[in-house]
Amino acid sequence: MAASNIPREIIEIILSKLPSVKPLLRFKTVSKSWNTLISDLVFIQTHLHSLKTSPDNLFLSRYKKSANSGFPMVKFEGGKVDAGVIFVENIPNSYNAILCECNGVLLLTRYDYDEYALWNPSTRETFPINYHGEFSGSYILDYGVCYDQITADFKVVFVSLTEYEIYSCNKNSWTKKNFRTDYYNVAGTGSGIFLDGATYWIFGEGSHTSGIQLVYFDPRTDEIKRLQKPKQLSDDDKYQLIRMDTFRGSLCLYCYNNQEESVQIWIKEKGIDLGYTNWKEFITVRDFKP
Amino acid sequence: MAAETGTPTTLTLKSNDDELFSVAESAAILSVTIRNMVEDGCAGGVIPLDNVDGKTLASVITYMNGISAIPADEEKKKSYRDKFLSDKDFETLADMVLAANYLNMSCLMDAVSAKIAQVMEKKSVGWVRRKFGIENDYTPEEEAAVKEEHKWTFEGVETDDDN
């Protein structure tokens, strides 16, 4: 007997648990109402959230930048030491590097030609970015992509020494803004980490001795703002911020204490900064000699 | 009072095809629907579950007893759920997802809906229409257009066996 009596809200729950995007796109062909449901923005967010919280973690490997062999994803399963490398889709023609990632969407570039595109390997859609050298003559320090949930817009941020440029996919246009200070790159190009509605970087401040700063792009105001460091880390002679990453859906910060030779990991409270930032010390690894 | 003397309280559940089942209250209250009835004092006699048939209810009770016998160890609970659902066909899973929804059992609901999604992953559009009883309301031209747009997603689909 056909199970014709499964109501729409339960179908929605079932579809949101599909382990990849491919069957969802195929099932748009089932009927008009399934197509409407699968295309719905709220449903897409629910599905994305369900994939992000699944126990199988996939990591994008940045260091193999070959367009011909597809880009590598590393699958890490709890309890297993060896990670399996999966080659996913080939990067679309003419692009040769992945710069950063946001919600499964990758920022690609063709280095020699200053060409950029957003690419969603799950749907195989490419979105070229209309870039005409807005930073001509100025060296691009870093990149980031941010998904603005309120306007359902992907925003691409290019950061240079004294200014930054925001590209809105919805508007297909660039906005340029100035920093109040000079920054330099600390963690390597493409370090912009998207999490919880904002994109974060570690930058060095060039003009005076205030050292390493945490900054974030807030898509609500299209501004790059400074994020408070853990108060305990304000002594720049003693502490060295090594990198930023995500851990269990939170932003985390690795820092090296060069007096005690220990590495501390700090975790930021969830949510975009509200004028204050709560950091919690998560773990300290002692006797760490680089 | 039974609870004070330490004797486990037993509830009697009745399916919509009039089968009666005895189940320990401690296991039955995994269902928020049943727990609310117990808390409201409506569980004195027989608890009628009008949306669940005897076959499905028997299966749900097996799950209630099995999962509540496992101490608070999420790994073990997960592996029990995986094993419990491993041999169920689509129709059984569909009945269980409706029962879990009606009984308001979130852990069973999550597990069964994820299992159905896993079963569907490589199935054809025709299989999904038959199993979910969905009418194709596209014109042939519209259907061809939607299919063309996502042509690559039709690669690697299993041949229908209707299991």
Whole-prediction pTM value?
0.78
Does A63 score more than 90 pLDDT?
Answer: no
Q: What are phi and psi of A4, to 5 degrees?
A: -80, -5
pLDDT value, residue A204: 81
d(CA A266, CA A282): 5
Cβ contact, residue pair B109, A28, below 8 Å: no
pLDDT value, residue B2: 42
Say which residue, A263 or B6, is predicted with more confidence: A263
Over residues A85-110, mean pLDDT? 80
User: Average pLDDT over chain A, rounded to whole?
Assistant: 81
Q: Is A19 on the interface with B (CB under 8 A)?
A: yes
d(CA A225, CA A164): 12
Over residues B87-110, mean pLDDT? 95
Does A17 score more than 50 pLDDT?
Answer: yes
DSSP A11: H
Q: Per residue in A217-263, pLDDT tens?
A: 999 999 998 888 888 777 767 787 778 888 877 889 888 888 888 88
Q: Where are the domains of chain A?
A: 1-54, 55-90, 95-227, 232-290
Does A93 score more than 80 pLDDT?
Answer: no
- Half-sphere exposure of residue B110: CA atoms within 13 angstroms, side-chain side: 7
Say which residue, B96 or A257, is predicted with more confidence: B96
Query: Which residue is associated with the tokens 């817009």?
Result: A153
B71-102 burial code (b ≥16 CB/10 A, e <16)? eeeeeebeebbeebbeebebebbbbbbbbbbb
| Number of neighbouring beta carbons within 10 Å of residue A15 | 22
Contacts of B53 in chain A (CB under 8 A): none
- CA distance to partner chain B, nearest, from residue A250 (Å): 22
Separation of CA A231 from chain center: 25
Q: Where are the domains of chain B?
A: 2-120, 125-154
Looking at this predicted complex, what is its ipTM? 0.91
Over residues A123-145, mean pLDDT? 81
Angle at A205 between CA A202 and CA A209, to 5 degrees: 125
- CA distance to partner chain B, nearest, from residue A97 (Å): 24
The β-bridge partners of A263 are A256, A285
Say which residue, A274 or B40, is predicted with more confidence: B40
Does A56 score more than 70 pLDDT?
Answer: no
Cβ contact, residue pair B129, A31, below 8 Å: yes
Does B3 score more than 50 pLDDT?
Answer: no
Does B33 score more than 80 pLDDT?
Answer: yes
- The tokens describing A4, both together, are 């014709």
d(CA B105, CA B84): 15
Over residues A114-134, mean pLDDT? 86
Confidence of residue A32 (pLDDT cuts 50, 70, 90): very high
Interface of B with A (CB under 8 A): 90-91, 94-95, 97-98, 101, 109, 113-114, 116-118, 120-123, 125, 128-138, 143, 146-147, 150, 152-154, 157
Contacts of A88 in chain B (CB under 8 A): none
Does A146 score more than 90 pLDDT?
Answer: yes
pLDDT value, residue A45: 87
Task: Classify domain B2-120 at the CATH topology level.
Answer: Potassium Channel Kv1.1; Chain A (3.30.710)
